[in-house]
Structure 1
Amino acid sequence: MNLASLDLNLLISLDALLRERSVTRAATRLALSQPALSASLSRLRRHFGDDLLTRVGNTYELTPLAIHLKELTAVALAGVERVFARQPDFDPAVADREFTILTSDYGLAVAGAELAAVLGDEAPGIRLRLHHITTGAVDRAAETLRTVDGLLLPHGFLTDLPHLDLYTDRWVCVVAADHPGVRDTLTMADLAALPWVLTFHEPTAFTPAARQLRLLGVEPKARIVVQSFLAVPFVLAGTNRVALMQEHLARRLSTGGGLRVLDCPFEPVPLVEALWWHPMYDRDPEHMWLRDRMAEVGRRIGQ
């Protein structure tokens, strides 16, 4: 294929069409006329030999090829934007740059304030987007990391990708402050008998300490499953349930008095929070600066 013969503006049109699944909405998104975008769609259909969008009732659906192209298009556009945004030198004091990091609510709650402070001190023009991490993003991490600057994620989920260890946390048990059956300690028998609040209870999304507990012969009795660590206190309040939580977060959430933090009756594997990125950013000056700032965040949290 001769890239010189292609109109790269079609990549922008393709991305909008696949995201919006509507010529009208895509035209509005791009501030173009509907006839102009319809012409682009026709050219794209000829190029791929595929309809890309097919009408089903009053809506349009993506063809199988279009579904495959949607993610590839996002990755390609991100790469083009990074190429043309590159400057010969990077000065954080005057840089006008946006970084995107995917993180859980735990990572945001523990590191967010420190990260905002570090960036604000040194780089007032830098913008930071903190998006919620999803199971799909982790499962396809190598592809995901082509479109964002990093994943904030503990060890145990990713392999064979560059990373920077930030800080170490430990797992603790949490119960309601007025839990009727728990005093100052928990036993393994308690963990086997009590009802549980579990986080991310899926094959590829899980709390490592809960998986470790199963290996020790205790199968938590899941009564509530939440996709958020910050939601745990709300479903523990006034109940006899128990949950696992990272100590840094649990201590923050227990300051209001509604939560009690207890040591686990087993030795949980430590949680090592890390920043993960794609190898193509290894020597990128802007990304190297970001990693240095993230290392400072980790040092502040670990103090």
Structure 2
Amino acid sequence: MQLHNIDFNLLLPLRVLLEERSVSRAAERMHMSQPALSASLARLRRHFNDELLERRGNAYTLTPLAAQLLERSYSALAGLERIFLAQAEFDPTTTTREFTVVSSDYGISVLGGPLATVLTQEAPRARLRFHPITTAAVNNAPDSLRDLDGLLMPHGFITDGSHEDLFADRWVCVVAADNTVVGDRLELEQLSTLPWVYTLSGPSEYTPAAKHMQLLGVEPRVDVVTGSFLVVPALLRGSDRIALVQESLATQMGAGGGVRILEAPFDVVPLVEAFWWNPVYDRDPEHQWFRSKLHEAVTRAGLRPPRET
């Protein structure tokens, strides 16, 4: 099928219909009449030779194809928006662009707030959207970043694509504030005898610090594994568990009084958090501006420069 035979005006109704799973709600959201949107749904069904929305009792559900199309529609609309909102000279004060970043909850916690503040001050009509890290986004970069502005990720996981180092961080150990087994310092042997909360820095990757510990011959007794750094204090509470987290995030955790921060009893290689993007955006003026705001956000957050460990 050739592109000139496709009515791209159906793309937005497709996404809204699949999100709402209701012609009436989709019509209200798009400020269209129900008959007009029903006609769009009929055309979409003919085009895909699929019902897309199937009635189950009093509600509609997505067909398997519709579920795929919903995910793809986000990327397609984002790509169209990038094309038709592009400007020869970028003016942040008037842009309505949505900047999309893939990040762990760690990256969002330490940099998200300052970045949002910078954007609000200089691009008040822009929007910042964070997506959670997925295995596909990491393993298929930079192709997976073609429809995104970039990915916040430490070195060691992505080898291709353009990137800029943003800040450095240290790994520290944290225990519950009321942990009576661990004193003012951790002993190396305690790393093997006490239970652990292990965090994943990606969907299937333990943190480099945890890997480093295993290389030293320390085999921790892992009680809990989580993909979220932010839930670590809750998983430490009322237990003798230990966890390795980034110092900047541990400082936030400690401010709430739930954890104590301790130096790791072994030398840990610091992490360097970087921003990775598809090289097609190297010279994009909007993207260049956004990258400069990332560095401003790092300064605002008081994070350590990349070469300062």
Task: Please report how far the alpha carbon of residue 93 of structure 1 lies from its aligned counterpart in structure 2 after TM superposition.
Answer: 4.2
Aligned to 1:287: 287
Determine the C-alpha separation between the residues in 1 that align with 2:128 and 2:179.
Answer: 39
Name the structure 1 match of 2:79.
Answer: 79
Q: Which residue of 1 aligns with 2:134?
A: 135
Note closer, same or farther for the CA distance 1:186–1:284 as it changes in structure 2 (3 Å cut). same
What residue identity is the alignment partner of 1:24? S
Question: Hey, what does 2:272 align to over in structure 1?
Answer: 272
Which of residues 292, 301, 304 is equivalent to 1:302? 304
Any conservation in 2 of the 1:105–1:132 contact (CA below 8 Å)? Answer: no
Q: 2: distance between equivalents of 1:111 and 1:202?
A: 18
Give the partner amino acid of 1:302: R
Paired amino acid for 2:303: I
Distance 2:80 2:262 in 1: 50
TM-score normalised according to structure 2 size: 0.84
Which 5+ residue runs of structure 2 have no aligned equivalent? none
Please give the per-residue CA displacement for 1:185-226, whole angstroms capped at 9, x wherever unaligned.
323321111111222398624333223333443333233334
Aligned to 1:166: 166
> Counterparts of 1:290 and 1:37 in 2: how far apart (Å)?
37
Is 84-93 or 48-57 further displaced after alignment? 48-57
TM-superposed CA distance for 1:96, in Å, is 4.1
Task: Describe the shift of the 1:134–1:58 C-alpha distance in structure 2 as closer, same or farther (beyond 3 A).
Answer: farther
Letter in 2 for 1:151: L
Amino acid at match of 1:60: Y
The one-letter code sitting in structure 2 at the alignment partner of 1:261 is I
Deviates more, 1:270-279 or 1:205-214: 205-214
Is the Cα contact below 8 Å between 1:138 and 1:157 reproduced in 2?
Answer: yes
2:69 and 2:257 map into 1 onto residues whose CA distance is 51
Equivalent residue, structure 2, for 1:236: 236
| Paired position in structure 2 for 1:21 | 21
Over residues 82-106 of structure 1, what are the superposed CA-to-partner deviations in whole Å (9 max), with x where a residue is unaligned? 1111122113345443322233332
CA deviation map 1:151-189 (0-9, x unaligned): 222223333222211011121111123321222332332
Structure-1 separation of matches of 2:92 and 2:202: 40
Q: What does residue 181 of structure 2 align with?
A: 181
Q: Indicate conservation of the 8 Å contact 1:97/1:125, yes or no.
A: no
What is the identity, as a one-letter code, of the residue corresponding to 2:211? R
SS at match of 1:87: coil
CA distance in 1, matches of 2:129, 2:45: 35
Structure 1: any 5+ residue segments left out of the alignment?
Answer: none
Contact 2:120–2:126 (8 Å) recurs in 1? no
The amino acid across from 2:251 in the alignment is R
Tell me, in whole angstroms, the C-alpha distance in 2 between the residues paired with 1:147 and 1:24: 30
1:217 aligns with 2:217: yes
Alignment partner of 1:166: what SS? strand
Question: Could you tell me whether the CA contact under 8 Å between 2:202 and 2:227 is conserved in 1?
Answer: no
Say which SS state the counterpart of residue 188 (structure 1) adopts. coil
Sequence identity (%)? 54
CA contact (8 A) 2:102 2:151 kept: yes
Q: Could you tell me which amino acid in structure 2 is paired with residue 41 of structure 1?
A: L
| AA matched with 1:157 | F
Cα distance in 2 for residues equivalent to 1:49 and 1:258? 56
Residues 175 and 240 in structure 2, CA contact (< 8 A), matched pair in contact too: yes
Q: Note the C-alpha offset of 1:244.
A: 0.7
Q: TM-score, normalised on structure 1?
A: 0.86
Whether the 8 Å CA contact 2:133–2:203 is kept in 1: the answer is: no
Pick closer, same or farther for the CA change 1:98–1:221 going to 2, 3 Å.
same
Which segment drifts farther, 270-279 or 100-109? 100-109
CA distance in structure 2 between the partners assigned to 1:52 and 1:172 by the alignment: 50
Displacement of 1:284 in angstroms is: 1.0
Deviates more, 1:238-247 or 1:102-111: 102-111
Equivalent position amino acid for 2:128 in 1: R
Change (3 A) 1:215 1:20: farther
Please identify, of 243-252 and 172-181, the stretch whose mean Cα deviation from structure 2 is larger: 172-181
Task: Please give the alpha-carbon distance, in whole angstroms, between the structure 2 residues aligned to 1:47 and 1:23.
Answer: 18
CA distance in 1, matches of 2:220, 2:206: 13
AA at the equivalent of 2:124: G
Q: 1:255 to 1:52 in 2, by over 3 A?
A: closer
